[in-house]
Structure 1
Amino acid sequence: MVNGNASDVGESSEDPPEPLGRRLHGGRYRLLHRLGGGGFGMVWKARDAEISRMVAIKEITRPHEDVGVTADEMLAREVRALAAAECPSVVRVYDTFREDGGRFIVMELIDGPTLGERLRSGGPMSPAGASRMGLQLLDALDAAHRSGVLHRDIKPANIMLRGDQALLTDFGIARISAHPVQIGSPTWGYGAPELVKPKDPEPYTEASDLWALGAVLHEAMTAKQAYPEYSILIGDDPSERHTPALRAGALTPVIEGLLCDDPGQRWTAARARDGLMRALANGLVDTPQQPTAPDGVGPTLRRPGLAGLRSKIRRARVPVLAVTALLVLLATVAVLRPWGSDDTGAQVPGDWLPRTPHSAMGPIDATLSVPPGFTEWPQGPESNDKWPEAKYVRDPFRIQLRRQTRIRGTSADEADKTVNSYRARGKADYSGKEERISAVTARPVAETQYRGHAAAVADIRYTDSGGKKWRLLELFVVNRDGDCYRLQVAMPPTAPQADQGQEIFDGVRASLDLGHMET
């Protein structure tokens, strides 16, 4: 556990009797109080005295003779697994140290509950919230599996929630392909059927991690375990062994597909991602569905239309005249502004993937869509950037979204400042901290609109210090709170990449939904 709440499976968060916070552990960390613990470790909340940062410190506590490996090997195993699975949806590891015979891992402190705590206190999640969480956990599993890491203990107690962000933690029993010795076993109720066969159980694979994800999604939608205790061992018909996720709506086929008994027929990560994307797009659908066979990909992509709004209005029993006036207004808006477009009229392609950008520096308060194949650029704690930003990369393109606060100028002013900054960096006598560039050219800043708000677009070309040529298209939007949102797409300046980059910029700009924008 790496949060400020007690673990689902271990010690309470009450302070131990011995005094804490006086001694510097590892030369820099002051233990504050115990957060919780499980079978292989105890977790403490601590302060890094060198940089005044709150952290979580996990102490390896399981005696090595119980698992057939040494404490050093257990420490190295978990750190390697966390490092290999580095991703915005995996809790970050900062440091390790040994002290008084103990082994310690210093990790990111998540100020939020576990999924298990969230479900116990708040009940089931919405289909949209569960779909969004599922996509983030899939990102974590993709990163781990690409690096040859199997988590082996995916469950609500090991999923931390920070606002709308879900993070996978506790890689204590992860299996690394380069170090095939296994320690520990998956928690009952989250271990796939192939692992518990009475005769000839199969080895743990990537498909087993995906089955556990299906069990987590089921629990997120019902607040009940799909397979309580040892029920997975009983019966031959899967429908008799778990509680169908009756309120999962568009998530039902994803859950059923991931909980398929046969790992060969179980939904793959790619198919699950497609199903979760469709479920997220259908997040407004709130009618319970009976489970469906996992043969289809799921409901087709739908956007809320007038028919659905009429149905909701009828259920609310609004007076007829008010209904008529509202429908006329909505029809007018639909004509003036196509769904999924901005003031340029550009459309968001149907296969693009919605993203909620996250930053090590704080919230960005925005959502956007990116083309398939773009990977979120991980930002570690060493980032010195002053403002929250997120990057998505697919060579040779880069999408970047930044939010700057306490801006006094207009959108056009910020665009002009950026253009002038690039021109200064291109001068022979430039001596600033940023990379020196050359051959800088820029078109005049274009004043435009973003959903009724004043905006500006900068178009800059330059050559970097390595001799590579770039074109930057950047949208600037300043809201009334003085927050400046900057959407940038970097691309090569020549065809055909320049044309592709322009299409990416137009599509991401059309998908961009900014927070705290006043109408």
Structure 2
Amino acid sequence: MIESVGGRVVADRYVLADRLGSGGMGTVWRAWDHLLQRTVAVKELHAAGGGYEQQASMRRVLSEARAIARVTHAHVIDIYDLLEFDGGLWIVMELVPGGSLSERVRSSGLLSPVETARVGLEVLSALDAVHAAGALHRDVKPANVLLRADGSSVLTDFGIAALSGHTGLTGTGAVVGSPEYMAPERLRDQPVGPASDLFSLGVTLCFLASGQSPFARGDLTATSFAVAFEPPSVHVPGPLGDVIEQLLDKDPAKRPSSAQLADALQSIVDGAPQTVQATLRQSVRPPGANRRRTASAGASRRRTAITGAIAVAVLVAGAGVTASVVGDDSGPVSPEQTGQASTGAHTVSRVDAVMPVPGVQGRFWVFAGSEYMVVETGADPASARRVGGPSPIAQWRKTFGGLDSFTSGIDAVLPVPGDAHRFWVFSGDEYLLVHIAGDRSGKGRLQEPRPLTDWPSLRPFRTD
């Protein structure tokens, strides 16, 4: 047994220290993982009821948490462990010490439109990854977006709706979650989907830029009524206000799609806001029609690079690719268009390496320059799509952090024969052995970088 100094020990492994926060659905503790010798965050979930009802709640949480745990994304909280202990359910996560967005606004003031749009892009990319895994967040709000030391956003706290088993209202009429951030369809007990999370993101962006929720009315009943039936009070001028108002449409079908929202927010970040309204209101064109490119150079460059990455991933998956490849939200793209793409401050002329995600059929990590993304492929080229990223290689499961050679570019990846979770990763004149467990609990590099001459299969090559 582990000896603790005044701290409670969970599952003979996690020694609880100070309490980081508590709410109606759970308590979060800072804890020490005795087995892996690291600090983590441990959330004790408060399941309502008892007997069969509590068991059903636990099954719902486990199902949803497992879906989130399969998501590999720089802006989604890492879930390390799920366990039942002492009659309750516990989730072990990475500890993000930078505080939440709500705390950031309280301590440092409002975010600028560009800062707000940048946060919006990060949270949106996290939601895209969560939705692709078949899950919903259902409680997107500033308090559930944490900030890492580098200022990047991390979406957390996915347990609300799974724990309650309801989309918005309980059987007694009580509200589960934060009413002023809920989509109206949740309060009306109607079907919910990804557009519901985007509505909550719109409320979050409004708070970051104005310090006010567009539906806050002072009490629960008035606030819930405002969300469901009243127009929003958006006190955010300019293009960002236009984006927020579009997101807060009562009709989910009239809200911007994820791709449209990404283009609109990127336009604000890039300083090309004149295209925002046109992007949001762009009509669906018939197949084969030419699509107008946005004036946002950053968004255009990123789409081109992503399309090239998806093309390589499809080839690796064995899908037949002809002269055209369908990307994120673009029309057919020729090989000449994908051959040279500029992303950020560097130029990418090819995809450097592709690595299959263990245990997830048709999903790949794609490395290009100093960035990576997650792509998913299906039975035909048109089904290929980006799931997450682009993000810096240094953020990839934190395996390459501190290794300048690898974070600047990965040259190749080879699977280790006989082990679906181990890979050799090559960069420059060095290589690494990494292990990626299917449950994400054993991720990371197994050794420090070694010279290529130590890799037995390369010894036949001449080095002089």
- What is the TM-score normalised by the length of structure 2? 0.59
Q: What does 1:44-443 correspond to in 2, within 5 Å? A: 44-65=29-50, 68-70=53-55, 72-162=58-148, 163-174=150-161, 185-197=176-188, 201-229=189-217, 230-231=222-223, 233-234=225-226, 240-246=231-237, 249-282=238-271, 295=281, 300-301=295-296, 348=342, 373=386, 375-376=388-389, 379-380=396-397, 383=399, 387=403, 418-419=428-429, 432=454, 436-437=457-458
Q: Tell me the secondary structure at the aligned position of residue 348 of structure 1.
A: strand
Structure 1 position 29 matched with structure 2 position 23 = no
Residue in structure 2 matched with residue 334 of structure 1 by the alignment: none
1:289-339 deviation digits (Å, cap 9, x = unpaired):
xx9995369994389xxxxxxxxxxxxxxxxxxxxxxxxxxxxxxxxxxxx
The answer as to whether partners of 1:256 and 1:293 remain within 8 angstroms in 2 is no
Sort the Cα spacing of 1:254 and 1:60 in 2 relative to 1 into closer, same or farther, 3 A.
same
Q: Structure 2: how far apart are the matches of 1:278 and 1:37?
A: 38
Partner AA of 1:233 in structure 2 = F
The RMSD of aligned alpha carbons is 4.6
1:69 to 1:187, Cα distance in 2 relative to 1, 3 A: same
Could you report, residue by residue, the CA deviation over 1:248-287 in whole angstroms, capped at 9, with x for unpaired residues?
x43233212211221111101010011111111018x8x9
1:107-132 Cα deviation digits (max 9, x unpaired): 11111111111112222111221111
CA-CA distance at 1:29 after TM superposition: 1.9
| 8 Å CA contact 1:210, 1:258 repeated in 2 | yes
Bigger helix share: 2
| Contact 1:130 1:220 (C-alpha < 8 Å) held by counterparts | yes
Instruction: Describe the SS at the equivalent of 2:16.
Output: strand
- Structure 1 position 26, deviation (Å): 2.0
The residue type equivalent to 1:76 in the other structure is L
Deviation at 1:63, TM superposition (A): 3.0
| Structure with bigger gyration radius | 1
Structure 1 residue matching 2:44: 3-state secondary structure: strand
CA distance in 2 between counterparts of 1:373 and 1:172 reads: 25
Equivalent AA in structure 2 for residue 31 of structure 1:
L
Change in CA separation of 1:153 and 1:419 when aligned onto 2, cut-off 3 Å: closer
Structure 1 residues 235 and 47, CA gap change in structure 2 (3 angstroms): closer
Q: State the partner residue of 1:460.
A: none
Deviation at 1:233, TM superposition (A): 2.4
Cα distance in 2 between the residues matched to 1:208 and 1:78: 17
Equivalents in 1 of 2:210, 2:106: separation in Å? 11
Tell me what 2:438 maps to: none
2:193, 2:29 → 1: CA distance? Answer: 32
| Aligned-partner Cα distance in 1 for 2:59–2:347 | 39
Answer yes or no: is the 8 Å Cα contact 2:129–2:387 preserved in 1.
no
Instruction: Judge conservation of contact 2:64–2:135 (CA < 8 Å) in 1.
Output: no
From the superposition, tell whether residues 112 and 295 of structure 1 become closer, same or farther in structure 2 (CA, over 3 Å).
Answer: same
Q: Which amino acid aligns with 2:225?
A: L
Percent identity at matched positions?
29
Is the 1:149–1:174 Cα contact (8 Å) retained in structure 2?
no
Partners of 1:250 and 1:113 in 2: CA distance: 28
Q: Distance in 1 between matches of 2:239 and 2:402?
A: 40
Asked if structure 2 preserves the Cα contact closer than 8 Å seen for 1:256 and 1:292, the reply is: no
Q: Summarize the Cα distance change of 1:193–1:67 in structure 2 as closer, same or farther, 3 Å threshold.
A: farther
CA distance in 2, matches of 1:73, 1:235: 30
Cα displacement string for residues 115-157 of structure 1 (whole angstroms, at most 9, x for unaligned residues): 1111122221112211111111111111111111011111111
Q: Secondary structure at the match of 1:149?
A: coil
Q: Compute the TM-score of the two structures, normalised by the length of structure 1.
A: 0.53
Rounded Cα–Cα distance in structure 2 between residues aligned with 1:435 and 1:374 = 36
Alpha-carbon distance change, 82 to 302 in structure 1, aligned in 2, over 3 angstroms: closer
What residue identity is the alignment partner of 1:210? L
